[in-house]
Amino acid sequence: MNNDFRILYTQFTDTAQRAADLNFASAVLGWDQEVYMPAKGADARGRQLATLTTEAHKILTSEDYGRLLAALVTAAATSEATEDMLANIRLSTLDYEKNKKLPAAFIEELSLLTSQGFNAWVDARGKNDFSVFAPHLEKMVALKRRQAALYGYTTHPYDALLNEYERGANIAMLEPVFELIRKELPLILKKIKGSEQVSDACFKTNFPKENQWDFSIKVLQQMGFDFEAGRQDYSEHPFTTSFSSSDVRITTRVDEHNFASLLWSSIHEGGHGLYEQGLPESQYGLPLGEAASLGIHESQSRLWENCIGRSKEFWHYFYPILQQHFPDSLGNLPEHEFYKACNRIAPSLIRTEADEVTYHFHVLIRYELEKALIEGSLEVKDLRNAWNAAYTKYLGIAPPDDKTGVLQDVHWSHGMFGYFPTYTLGSFYAVQFFEKAKAEIEAFDEHTKSGTFAPLLDWLRTNIHRHGRKYTSEELCTRVTGGGLDPQLFLNYVNRKYGAIYPGQ
């Protein structure tokens, strides 16, 4: 019987890993599409991605695979299956049941529309005109509503989509979080507005692109990113993707007259990249080889970007190095002024360049809008106006054009509805993990001050990365910190940190 289990388990890993090979191939094609592909390659790339996705889906929804999983569940009951094996079987069975809900034709349609939608979004951005993208977005919203119906849900179609990125999350869990943002963050912002303002002009002088690149590589190396198992490239919209835990690609962008653009992108994606490199290689293509959720993924990027990358201790080590890279721009600026500039709080239009406080208004806006699109209370033709109204309401500024407004994010063109909330969840988890790591790692601040990040990376590897997708976000958070999501901890962190930078009048 035990022997039977082993044979079945090998058949299972063979099948799952074959599908993973196809999905990782899709990831290579997707990476190339955004990093190096020439414009005219788009059509063929679209159909190639559609075929890869369809073939992987075929494998993972085949009756054979379903029977194999069912047989495994039975065989596991009387075998010496390890806890990890059981987790892989359990999660793959959940995935199978979910995948079975989407017909192959739907998958192909979604993949094709994603590719066309992405190209239309690029085109629309170039033309700074939402109406170029709108017809594609309309189709995408209709398709995502169908997807929600196919998955099924009890209270709200948005829950079904959310679950794709954050297993176990739903509107009922999110609403209190966003309610806190709606209520508490304006109070913090008000206090900041009443203080002496911080300037970030030092980021906006002249920063030769090559030196920016070199500095980012230096930071990533110091963080522990393994460049033999990954690389950094440029893309329009920074992202992280991986083709195994030994081949992790991050991207950044560069603006000669705004060093902040590359700096925070590189550290942020570097945090994602470290998580991918830390996933167990032995679990290639299996649930335990995958990230826990997008929220947990974002907790890693936000922890490195904000809790580490915007800390006094980090710049104690890196600022002299940075000054050597840009003696003309930063040679005469004191370290504490630069630290404050890194932490300037001010309402702005672009999410990816927002500070760690106002950032959550950007997420809130997207959450409210996409929820409305999915439930049908907002139509795509009204989206631009709704977007601009929301920015006026929450951030007090309206976008002057579509490029800095409703067209700024790639997500909806990719059909990613339900993704944005994970950014806020991730930021909140990040603070919880960070506080715990600080409490558990001896001389934490001293390590950061000397540019030594191995203790933190080890802690993250041990407590978070190595588990793969074994636990839900909430289970993992509870294992690591002793409790689930607690937005109050984020508020405390923000009050403490920014209370010092913006002490009020």
Q: Which two tokens stand for residue 207?
A: 């920063």
Task: Work out how close the CB of 411 gets to a copy of itself at its nearest, in angstroms, rounded to a whole number.
Answer: 24
Task: Work out how close the CB of 56 gets to a copy of itself at its nearest, in angstroms, rounded to a whole number.
Answer: 10
State how far the alpha carbon of 187 is from the alpha carbons of 191, 192, 491, in Å: 6, 9, 11
Residue with the two structure tokens 């047989």 = 71
Nearest to a copy of itself of 4, 109 (CB atom): 109
Q: Among 266, 351, 277, which residue's Cα sits nearest to residue 308?
A: 266
**CA terminus-to-terminus distance, the chain:** 74
Task: Work out how close the CB of 434 gets to a copy of itself at its nearest, in angstroms, rounded to a whole number.
Answer: 29
3-state class (DSSP) for residue 487:
helix
Question: What's the chain's Rg over C-alpha atoms?
Answer: 23
Nearest to a copy of itself of 37, 398 (CB atom): 37
Nearest to a copy of itself of 223, 354 (CB atom): 223
Q: Kindly list the residues in this chain that would bind a copy of itself in the complex (CB under 8 A).
A: 17-18, 21-22, 24-26, 28-29, 32, 36-41, 43-45, 47-48, 50-52, 55, 226-231, 233, 243-244, 246-247, 284
- Are 275 and 297 in contact by the 8 Å Cβ rule? The answer is yes
- Kindly give, in sequence order, each residue whose CB lies less than 8 Å from that of residue 276, ignoring residues fewer than 6 positions away: 230, 240, 242, 245, 248, 291
Task: Work out how close the CB of 18 gets to a copy of itself at its nearest, in angstroms, rounded to a whole number.
Answer: 5
Report d(CA 174, CA 416) in Å as an integer. Answer: 17
Active site residue 196: no
Task: Work out how close the CB of 61 gets to a copy of itself at its nearest, in angstroms, rounded to a whole number.
Answer: 16
Nearest to a copy of itself of 243, 502 (CB atom): 243
DSSP alpha helices (H): ranges in 246-334?
259-278, 294-302, 312-325, 327-330
In the set 34, 166, 269, 356, the catalytic residue is 269
Report d(CA 376, CA 237) in Å as an integer. Answer: 29
Nearest to a copy of itself of 42, 171 (CB atom): 42
Nearest to a copy of itself of 242, 301 (CB atom): 242
Report d(CA 444, CA 109) in Å as an integer. Answer: 50
Task: Work out how close the CB of 250 gets to a copy of itself at its nearest, in angstroms, rounded to a whole number.
Answer: 12
Q: What is the dihedral of CA 198, 203, 206, 208, to 10 degrees?
A: 170
Residue with the two structure tokens 């002490």 = 503
Which residues does the annotation mark as catalytic? 269
